[in-house]
Amino acid sequence: MNTRLVLLVDVGNSACKWAWLTAAGLQHHAALAYEDERFSYQYLLEQWQTAGEITDILVAAVANNDVVFQVLHELSSQTHRQIKRLSSSEHAAGVKNAYQHADKLGVDRWLAMIAAKNQLQSAVCVVDCGTAMTIDIIAADGQHLGGQIIPGMQMMANALHNSTALLPQVTSYEDAGCLGKDTDSCISQGIRTALSGAVNSVMSENQHIGPLQGIITGGNGSKIMSMLKGNWQYRPHLVLEGMAVLAKMNNKGDVE
């Protein structure tokens, strides 16, 4: 492990995130939205060529961004390293998948759960608040009990704007108190309340399995965290952390 330099790439719906796994752990976390003006083949190639001699390339993708995969295939050709694309499995790293068809569970959810359960011994509620918001419950023994998928902040705001004649397009979701004082803040607070309320409801409904710890990730996770009940921690790189767990275990069963 001392000589390994593993490139971990999380290809999401709205952005690409990456980090390097070395003997010292995860390093040089970065993220780039697809709408960012810097997002290009050349920029990503430069970012991923500069760290040193790559020994492994691990990818988790819920979207097939052409630019990202063109760069990955170029790196693979240069380094003679095969791209290992992670997928959800029946069980890995102490977590057992609740889905009847394990591979149908989004790999981002699977990796987030693996990371969370490998950090906490108790039952865990894992929330990823990104383009969509997902909620998953894992019992203390590692059994995934299931979850929910909910439209994310911008998706909700877009629906309100596109489905009505007068409601504005909202893009800011800062805390303005419980009740908004103008249309923008009313929409913003309504969305934050809807998302946090869903999480609080799931937490409440699953108290019977024992004390629940909460871990939240995703680009909008910090915007609802103050409204969540119970013990919560924000971990922005949770999916990459889950990838690192599998990379360290060298669990071939989870690599296509």
Q: Which residues are tagged catalytic?
A: 108
| SS3 (DSSP) at 9 | strand
- Other beta carbons within 10 Å of 179: 10
Q: Can you name the residues that pair with 145 across neighbouring β-strands? A: none
Cα–Cα distances (Å) from 69 to 15, 17, 30, 124, in that order, read: 13, 13, 17, 33
Beta strands in 73-197 (DSSP E): 83-85, 91-92, 95-96, 123-129, 132-138, 144-151
Angle at 219 between CA 242 and CA 69, to 5 degrees: 65
Q: Can you name the residues that pair with 138 across neighbouring β-strands? A: 124, 144
Is the CB of residue 174 less than 8 Å from the CB of residue 86?
no
Q: How far, in whole angstroms, is CA 6 from its chain's centroid?
A: 19
Q: How far, in whole angstroms, is CA 183 from its chain's centroid?
A: 30
